[in-house]
Amino acid sequence: MRPGVRAWVVGDAVAVASPGASRRDRLAIRGSTACALPLVRHALAESGPTYRPFGDAELVMAVSAGIEELTEAVGFSWMVTAALAPAAPLPSRADDAAPAADADDLGRVGDGEGGGQAGRVLVPRPGSEPGSPVASGAGAEPRSEVGSEVGSSAGTGATWLEPSADPEVGALLALANPSSYAVPGIPRVSRWAGIRDGSGELVAVAADAWSAPAVGLMAGVATAVSARGRGLAERVCRFVTAALLADHGRSALMVDDWNHSAVRLYERLGYARRRVAANKTR
């Protein structure tokens, strides 16, 4: 685990306190409600009120009901893939005007989110829990090179952007996705991928942000309003997904449940949906 991450276990329940994971201090939890309730109380007492319980929706809702200091749980989805779905043929110029799903944001989950052995430290085994949000706490160094295209992402038109493009990324997010959790320059938002149009203008972006050794996390997806409906979000997401799979073996993201077009897009890329929830101390 990276510095600052702590973990506890009570019976079959596990809690991992990860500071600054997707711009929140998160307490990832799993296990039975009977064991999770005393464990969450203990972990919050040690980690402090800034930490937000996060895990499978049913468990977090039960914890919310059992600990009056916590707010009502807010639901969203965690999506994870172990393989990149085959790429669909890129649209021709004649098809460019046809409507296509463009994701709004992977990282936005809302301001509301999201007899004991307590204190025994756990070291997660990388890859031992496919899809587990507990993995979101650790850090990893990216291995793909700037400007490269990875595996089946070739032909998307996306590349890794140089740091000098950060102002362009920030300007695009400010207009197309102002509530994005991932923005240039904040800790552990590692790199940005983008697509430029024929004039060189940046029209679509996505980030590698808060990735862990066993799972890469994609966030900060945005498409310029003038360029929507061309499938650019799918292309840049395919590129980033392929890179995260190459580096970590799995790729994951968070998405609001109401964002149906985004969910469909990620399912086309091979992501499977897992209902999760989060809450916070009142």
Please report the pLDDT score of residue 256 as a whole number: 94
Tokens for 16? Answer: 């991992």
In terms of pLDDT, which residue wins out, 97 or 239? 239
Q: Where are the beta strands (DSSP E) in the chain?
A: 6-10, 13-21, 24-30, 52-56, 74-81, 159-160, 189-196, 202-209, 216-223, 251-255, 272-278
- Specify the CATH superfamily of domain 6-114+133-278: Gcn5-related N-acetyltransferase (GNAT) (3.40.630.30)
Distances (CA, A) of 127 to 49, 122, 144, 229: 30, 15, 20, 36
Average pLDDT over every residue of 18-42: 95
pLDDT tens digits along 59-95 = 999 999 999 999 999 999 999 997 777 776 544 433 3
Q: State residue 270's pLDDT score.
A: 94
pLDDT digits (tens, 9 = 90+) for 99-157: 334 444 443 333 333 333 222 222 233 333 333 333 333 333 333 333 333 334 556 79
> What residue segments make up the domains of the chain, in order of their start?
6-114+133-278
Residues listed for the chain: 282
The C-alpha angle with vertex 238 and arms to 233 and 244, in degrees rounded to 5, equals 125
pLDDT for 2 equals 79
Q: Between 229 and 85, name the one with better pLDDT.
A: 229
Over residues 244-256, the pLDDT tens digits come to 999 999 999 999 9
In this predicted model, which residue has the larger pLDDT, 3 or 268? 268
Identify whether the C-beta of residue 197 lies closer than 8 Å to the C-beta of residue 191.
no
* Contacts (Cβ under 8 Å, ≥6 apart) of 209: 22, 107, 181, 182, 188, 189, 190, 217, 218, 219, 220
Query: 158-181: per-residue pLDDT in tens?
Result: 999 999 999 999 999 999 999 999
Average pLDDT, the chain: 81
- Residue 164's pLDDT is 97
